[in-house]
């Protein structure tokens, strides 16, 4: 059998691929701080997203293709929250740090999302979308119908009830 027909031995679930990208992005932040190379975070994020997409099971492509922005945001939030704890105004430092980091990481985030989408499309994302549509159509057709039509409550149902007779004015 040729090299083309052989499947890799390692397969990840979508959760495993997301965890891989999250841990690698956090490690990228640590390495970027140690080596003072800010572009390292983005490069590690794109590489880990690509690796996760290549190793994930084909049936879970749809779950993984939407996750890179969330992974990048969670990793950045975690790092910036850690940095903010050392400042006088935690909330102000967190907001400014998130804004700065997400702005600097936007090109990498776009690149990672585009790479993941391209690889997923090549690996059969369209088949996953088609299967999801068929399942949703089948689920809607099998939904039980109500046995009785909707009957509104009678007029005045929610009006307060008055018990007894009114008091006379003495």
The domain segmentation of the chain, as residue ranges, is: 14-141
pLDDT at 96: 92
Structure pTM?
0.71
CA–CA separation, 84 and 78 (whole Å): 10
pLDDT at 2: 45
User: Can you list the residues of the chain whose pLDDT is less than 70?
Assistant: 1-10, 140-170
pLDDT at 78: 93
Length of the chain in terms of residues written: 170
pLDDT at 1: 44
How far is Cα of residue 10 from the mean position of the Cα atoms in its chain? 24
CA–CA separation, 24 and 53 (whole Å): 14
pLDDT at 3: 46
Cα-based angle 28, 34, 35 (whole degrees, multiple of 5) = 85
């Amino acid at each position: 059998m040729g090299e083309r027909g052989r499947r890799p031995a390692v397969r990840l679930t979508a959760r495993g691929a997301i965890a891989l990208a999250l841990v690698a992005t956090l490690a990228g932040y640590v390495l970027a701080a140690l080596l003072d190379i800010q572009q390292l975070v983005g490069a590690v994020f794109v590489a880990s997203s690509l690796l996760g997409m290549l190793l994930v099971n084909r049936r879970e492509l749809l779950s993984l293709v939407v996750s890179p922005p969330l992974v990048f945001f969670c990793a950045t939030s975690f790092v910036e929250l850690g940095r903010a704890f050392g400042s006088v105004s935690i909330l102000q430092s967190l907001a400014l740090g998130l804004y700065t980091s997400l702005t600097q990481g936007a090109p990498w985030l776009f690149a990672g999302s585009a790479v993941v989408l391209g690889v997923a499309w090549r690996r059969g994302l369209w088949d996953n979308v088609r299967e999801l549509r068929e399942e949703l159509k089948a689920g809607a057709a099998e939904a039980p119908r109500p046995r009785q039509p909707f009957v509104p409550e009678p007029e005045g149902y929610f009006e307060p009830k008055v018990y007894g007779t009114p008091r006379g004015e003495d």
